[in-house]
Copies of this chain bind each other. A is one copy, B any other.
Amino acid sequence: MEIIPAVRKQYVELAEPSLSDSDADLLRLERATGPVKADLPLLRRLPGLLRSCGFKGTAVLTDHHLVDFEPGDTTDKCYGVAFDIGTTTMVGSLLDLRTGEELAVASAMNPQVSFGDDVVSRIGYASESPDRLEELRSRLVDAIGEMILQLCRDASVSNECVYEAAFAGNTTMEHLLGGMEVQQLGQVPFVPAHARGLVVPSKELPLPMHRGASCYLFPLIGGFVGGDTVSGMLATDIAAADGPVLMIDIGTNGEIILVSDGKILAASTAAGPAFEGARISCGMRATRGAIEKIVLPACQQEGDQVAGRDDDLRLSVIGGVDPIGICGSALVDVTAALLDSGVVTPEGRMLLGEELPADLPVAIRSRARAGENEQAEFVLAVGSDDRNDISITQKDIRELQLSVGAIRAGVQILLGMAGLEGKDLRRVLIAGGFGSFIRRSKAQRIGLLPPDVEHGRIHYVGNASLNGARFALLSTAARRKAEDLARGAEHVELSQDTNFQAVFAEAMIFPSG
């Protein structure tokens, strides 16, 4: 990709005014930069600025707009931030706009989770009153502002030299970031306020960037299929695929894109936050102390090398410390293993005592117990005095079934619309911060990925939404392409598909293995 960001800097040494050359200040500058317009706040300061530095300084330009004029040569300080604003998790990246080099990365919880852990509950909250919308908006903007300052500290960069931001988020997140009304998003037919990409002055949010900085919000496709999907399509260039390609962005709001025969189908599905550790009894994000990988010897496969007793389960904990919870990838692991070992039935029932398979190793069998409210649970780690046991409960399995079922049903409906089956897919792309850490075979085992897709055709594309935001930060051509992708995709409103409920109910049943 050619790096041609929206913002550029140009160092100029202008002739000082004289009787024979008394052009106005801005005209004088334009002789070096080409035609530009300046907003009133900058024009007010321009005469003093130019004279304070002897007419030698750096013009900060976007398109034909003068963002600022900085004394001296500051062309080596030109930064931007790219963000993936997830329903649960936000990731930001600080880039050098000249080289595209990434200088820092930061992630944080979306502070709106305390108002509801999925988009529907947030829409409900924000719709109650303008104050509540404002509450959600300002909490989000404040948290993003903190992340920008953190990124700048980490890279020893002044936030006054951050001139652009690019935001990819789902429809609801982009609306809440902009402070747009969302009532209409909470009702059929789920209509967004806008769909094209937006360029918004950063001071209108506001964010701690250069005072003349701009924020780019990705275009939306429609309904809940938002800018993060477009961004992911941009990053993976999926529309240019030469055979049927499926992309699944696994997050609280799951997105599914199917490209086939030059047609792009896009759907959103309410997967819930289980993959990000929420709504799971011992769930947590994939940070220090999280169990991120689990292997049961009964279903051990090549490559599953994890320390532990021979016939007992083996855990891998982020940071190598005592475990304090379980993150999404291990949740998929343990569910796959419990299905394989017969502790959990395809219908999702967790067995206890006599019901358990007879050939189950004792070390495993002893972990299945009746916990709180006689609910079945499977103990992963025994807590010390000051810490509770870490378990997977029957309720956790149900939660996962809902999440898996939502994505699986969406995939099946899109494939059906295109007249395809899983085996017809040339490639399956797994996107999302969480997606990168799941093991393909385990995800296929629980039905999260189509079981009939050849293992080698499944690829991780990382946080494609963040990557696309990086592209948009570095290239205005990428923004134009994003606009085309958004308008070229056909939005499929899954909830209004007459088959959805039936397909969903069936999709919640785990594959029989």
Contact = CB atoms under 8 A, between A and B. Distances in A.
Interface string A25-41: 11110000000011011
Interface residues of A, number: 47
Contacts of A183: 47-48
A496 interface: yes
B493 A51 contact: no
B19 A194 contact: no
Interface string A386-419: 0000000000000000000000000000000000
Nearest to A178: B40
Contacts of A25: 184, 191-194
- Most B CB within 10 A of own CB, among A189, A223, A491: A189
A496 B51 CA distance: 22
A196 B44 contact: no
A45 interface: yes
Q: Per DSSP, are chain A's interface residues mostly helix, strand or loop, or mixed?
A: mixed
Given A40-B204, A200-B40, A222-B24, A47 B493 contact: no
A26 B195 contact: yes
A17 interface: yes
Contacts of A195: 23-24, 26-27
Interface string A173-202: 000001111111000111111111010100
Contact of A18 (B23, B24, B189, B194): B189
A181 B48 contact: yes
B193 A22 contact: no
Contacts of A188: 19
Interface in A194-242: 194-196, 198, 200, 204, 220, 222-223
A43 interface: yes
B47 A181 contact: yes
A453 interface: no
A40 B179 contact: yes
Contacts of A198: 40, 43
B223 A27 contact: no
A46 interface: yes
B44 A194 contact: no
A170 to B, nearest CB: 14
Contact of A193 (B47, B178, B190): B47
B189 A17 contact: yes
Contacts of A17: 184, 189, 191
B43 A178 contact: yes
Given A47-B181, A51-B184, A181-B48, A191 B40 contact: no
A192 B182 CA distance: 47
Contact of A24 (B22, B27, B182, B192): B192
B191 A44 contact: no
Nearest to A185: B47
Contacts of A194: 24-27, 38, 43, 46
B184 A47 contact: yes
B178 A44 contact: yes
Contacts of A38: 194
Nearest to A220: B24
B493 A191 contact: no
Contacts of A28: 191
Interface of A: 17-19, 21-28, 37-38, 40-41, 43-48, 51, 178-184, 188-196, 198, 200, 204, 220, 222-223, 491, 493, 496
Given A24-B191, A25-B194, A47-B182, 9 more contacts: A38-B194, A40-B198, A43-B193, A43-B198, A44-B179, A44-B193, A46-B181, A46-B194, A48-B181
11 contacts: A19-B189, A22-B189, A23-B195, A24-B220, A25-B194, A26-B196, A40-B178, A40-B180, A40-B198, A46-B181, A47-B191
